[in-house]
């Protein structure tokens, strides 16, 4: 299995992972042979990448950190809550707590698996997929930090609902494909206070969970919003969600820009250091991130190109790579693999499409 840009899909390729609508319904099922009509349908949905299985990736298994069913249930729940908030209807928090419990249980079972957020987002379900991913990333970071399960559950609830205030922001501003004006950005910033006020109305949500909506855009050096607080004055939960929020946003396609590669996003977050984030949390955050996920095309420093077939947990930048093309661009027929933990004079220069 490998991830491939939709523009490079050819007819008769085999879909390796089912694609779902924002309601959790199957759009295209795993194993289907892709036709030109299917490819057009996926493009119309705003899907830019899919997973395929072919001769060069048949033995690569890409596992999501949580079950497919859990992810879809979480997206449906957050979609329902956001629609209710938009209409001013009180929502049932039990569903949120149950799904966060399921996510926590699965992450505790799989905490040694490196995270590859492998969900395929349609144009319409970005907000819901983003909320689920931020929850997953925050919970696994909480586990790495040694928080107890009660605190992690509060963290997960707040992370899942961190963007609920955006339901009260005009969609034209949220989905604007060009740069926001100063007035528009000021309007976007209101989602933090609006979200906090929405969550406080529900007596079943803890103050710390609700606070995440208010403070997830605060920055460690005081340059964030809405209160410009800094350092340890920002609650731990908000400091965790701040990193998860930026990571998932940058590694996702948006209406105004294409996604950025995982290794570049990790470098970006680390470079910001104490300017924006708590460096101790950054270290815990990246422990479970697959810098070069399995199935990723990579360009090596010797000019060869290949697919990552195995990630080395303690050496995240030095996976096992199946070489597919030599430095001249010629296809290599025999199965040749390089373990970059053993061949130290070769490094990964960049990711690439295979």
- The answer to whether residue 337 scores a pLDDT higher than 60 is yes
Q: How do the residues of the chain divide into helix, strand and coil, expressed in percent and rounded to 5?
A: 45, 15, 40
What's the CATH fold of domain 68-286?
Hypothetical protein af1432 (1.10.3210)
**Each residue's pLDDT tens digit, 161-216:** 999 999 999 989 988 888 889 999 999 999 999 999 999 988 899 999 999 999 99
Are 108 and 127 within 8 A, CB to CB? no
Q: Fold for domain 2-53?
A: Molybdopterin biosynthesis moea protein, domain 2 (3.90.105)
Of 302 and 62, which is predicted with more confidence? 302
Q: Is the pTM of this model over 0.75?
A: yes
Q: For residues 321 and 316, what is the distance between their CA atoms, to the nearest angstrom?
A: 13
pLDDT at residue 107, rounded to an integer? 92
Nearest to 212 by CA among 165, 158, 145, 131: 158
Which residue in the block uniquely carries the two structure tokens 């194993």? 31
At residue 78, the pLDDT reads 94
Q: Is 109 exposed, middle or buried (0-12, 13-18, 19+ CB in 10 A)?
A: exposed
Provide the pLDDT for residue 115.
76
Nearest to 255 by CA among 188, 174, 189, 181: 174
In the chain, where are the structural domains located? 2-53, 68-286, 297-351
pLDDT band at 31, cuts 50/70/90?
very high
**CA distance linking residue 332 with residue 304, whole number of Å:** 10
Region 215-227: what's the mean pLDDT? 97
Summarised one tens digit per residue, pLDDT across range 242-288 is 999 999 999 987 777 788 989 999 999 999 988 999 999 999 999 88
| Structural tokens at position 7 | 């523009």
Q: Which pLDDT belongs to residue 351? A: 93
């Amino acid at each position: 299995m490998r991830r491939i840009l939709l523009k490079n899909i050819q007819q008769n390729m085999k879909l390796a992972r089912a694609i779902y609508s924002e309601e959790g319904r199957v759009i295209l099922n795993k194993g289907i042979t892709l036709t030109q009509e299917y490819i057009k349908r996926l493009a119309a949905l705003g899907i830019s990448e899919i997973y395929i299985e072919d001769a060069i990736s048949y033995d690569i298994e890409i596992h999501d950190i949580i079950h497919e069913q859990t992810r879809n249930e979480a997206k449906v729940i957050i979609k329902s809550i956001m629609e209710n908030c938009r209409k001013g209807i009180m929502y049932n928090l039990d569903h949120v707590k149950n799904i966060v419990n399921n996510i926590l249980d699965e992450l505790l079972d799989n905490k040694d698996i490196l995270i590859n957020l492998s969900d395929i987002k349609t144009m319409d379900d970005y907000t819901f997929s983003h909320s689920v991913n931020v929850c997953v990333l925050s919970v696994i970071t909480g586990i790495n930090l040694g928080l107890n399960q009660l605190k992690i559950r509060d963290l997960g609830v707040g992370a899942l609902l961190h963007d609920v205030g955006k339901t009260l922001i005009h969609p034209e501003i949220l989905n604007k494909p060009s740069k926001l004006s100063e007035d528009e950005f000021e309007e976007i910033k209101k989602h933090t206070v609006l979200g906090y006020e929405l969550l406080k109305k529900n007596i079943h949500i803890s103050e710390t969970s609700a606070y995440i909506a208010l403070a997830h855009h605060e920055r460690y050096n005081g340059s964030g919003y809405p209160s410009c607080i800094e350092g340890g004055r920002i609650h731990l939960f908000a400091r965790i969600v701040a990193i998860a929020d930026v990571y998932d946003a940058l590694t996702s396609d948006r209406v105004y820009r294409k996604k950025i590669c995982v290794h570049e996003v990790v470098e970006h977050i680390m470079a910001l250091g104490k300017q924006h984030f708590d460096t101790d949390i950054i270290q815990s955050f990246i422990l479970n991130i697959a810098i070069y996920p399995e199935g990723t095309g990579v360009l090596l420093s010797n000019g060869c190109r290949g697919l990552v077939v195995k990630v080395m947990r303690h050496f995240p930048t030095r996976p096992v790579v199946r070489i597919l093309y030599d430095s001249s661009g010629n296809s290599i027929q025999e199965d040749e693999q390089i373990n970059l933990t053993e061949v130290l004079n070769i490094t990964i220069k960049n990711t690439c499409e295979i």
